[in-house]
Amino acid sequence: MAKKTIHFVSLGCPKNRVDTEVMLGVAERAGYRHVPDAGDASVIVVNTCGFIEPAKKESIDTILELARHKQAGSCKKLVVAGCLSQRHPDELAHGLPEVDHLLGSSDMLALERVLAGKAKRILVGSPADWVVRAADPRTLSTRGASAYVKIAEGCNRKCSFCVIPELRGLQRSRPVRDVVEEVKRLADAGVLEINLVSQDTVSYGRDLAGDRSLAQLVERVAAVPGLRWVRLFYLYPEKLGDDLIDLLAHHERVLPYVDMPLQHAADGMLRRMRRGHGGARLRDLVSRLRERVPGLVFRTAFIVGHPGETDAEFDELCDFVRWARFDRLGVFRYSDEESAKSQALPDKVPARVAAARAKKLMAVQRAISRQKQRALVGTELEVLVEGPSEESELVMVGRHAGQAPEIDGQVYLSGAEVHPGEIRRVRIERATDYDLLGEVIDDEPTVPARRRKARPAPSAIHHGSDGRKVSLRVLTSGS
């Protein structure tokens, strides 16, 4: 009898990771056991990103790397899913004969048919068909006691550089009760930190009947017993309501953490990007949040090298970053994408210029980050323990409330034995540009690691067939 083992690679953003975790759940329900080594898998699944050119290249390179296991005979099926196959199914089918099945960005549950041997080679449906539900199977892969929850799918914005509406469809918000039900199941499974994500989180609920808002959803989620931290990702830079700001400022479980990709700061660039606002709104928004939310941690992202970006506009962006002093910042170099409006714009910026601008902007941010990190030395913070560091199994790492999973750096821990899923009191002893080193100073965890509670009915949330979280290979450089 053929072995039923499966290996996953998830590329791109946390939203993609949720989709991968659903496919993990589908596979476990079908009797497959996840293996961390692709060489041990009878089925390999790559969940691709197709947002920008580097992400597409990374996806293709990963597929070709894993196809070697088919040549070796260990892998019987190679499955490619996600945004890249949604966008280019026929091209991938023709150019990659090694791939046995192609699933799009809305076809996570179709993996069950693939595993049963009853599927066509190309199973790419409409991008508007997929919205994750609490009832869907899901196997967690995030470390510690953290999980992402996708609250909506798709996007209604018309940014000139972006093809997400084409890849994922228009905005489809999940009902509040369905999101809360999933969060309750996650909390019952021992999760302490919930990270709410969607493509345009601030627009949550606008497509639902009745009065539904992001603030109402966040308040309901934060009320779920057992949770400690609720974090928001991907807020569009529009005027935020007082109800949401009050939650960020005063709710004991809603973290004062804002992830808001601003993309640029110069008026001319924001017009070309079709962002629907100018730099003055961004300055007002940053000022308002800093004034209203004590201890705010502000993460953002910018695009450099977009068509038409002048030296003066780039200098304005650098000045804006120096003024705003963001806590976290990502920089992306623009790449032409077919069907995106920006592709047709004149005055292309040479690649070498875009690369130099990205390097300079990150140097500006690195100096800011270094100062902010050093200011934490000597302070005491609550840290959620994740597990062993990548460098050594003998060194444990965690994150404080101002560090989001996998993208914001870590706290390296010393001074006491700790366990994944605990929250410990830590005194920060040293700081690098992005990471911290701290000593555990409490005798017992502030919050002990919790075992999953028994439930009268089967839960859709799993921690892998062996009761532990799956160690999932995640590549995020293309997100």
Which pTM was predicted?
A: 0.93
457, with CB counted inside 10 A (0-12, 13-18, 19+), is exposed
Q: Cβ atoms within 10 A of the Cβ of 243, count?
A: 13
pLDDT tens-place string over residues 397-435: 999 999 999 899 999 999 999 999 999 999 999 999 999
Residue 63's pLDDT is: 94
Confidence class of residue 235 from pLDDT cuts 50, 70 and 90? Answer: very high
All domains in the chain, ordered by first residue = 5-130 (3.40.50.12160), 138-374 (3.80.30.20), 380-440 (2.40.50.140)
Residue 478's pLDDT is: 36
Mean pLDDT of the chain: 92
Residue 239's pLDDT is: 85
| Nearest residue to 198 (alpha-carbon basis) of 182, 214, 178, 209 | 214
pLDDT tens-place string over residues 135-167: 999 999 988 899 999 999 999 999 999 999 998
CA dist 420 and 423 (Å) reads 9
CA dist 165 and 126 (Å) reads 12
CA dist 154 and 173 (Å) reads 9
pLDDT over 70 at 462, yes or no: no
Residue 473's pLDDT is: 57
pLDDT tens-place string over residues 34-89: 999 999 999 999 999 877 777 888 899 999 999 999 888 889 999 999 999 999 99
pLDDT tens-place string over residues 292-336: 999 999 999 999 999 999 999 999 999 999 999 999 999 999 999
Confidence class of residue 454 from pLDDT cuts 50, 70 and 90? Answer: very low
Kindly list the distances between the CA atom of residue 355 and the CA atoms of 251, 311, 319, 367, 368, in Å, as whole numbers in the listed order: 41, 13, 18, 19, 20
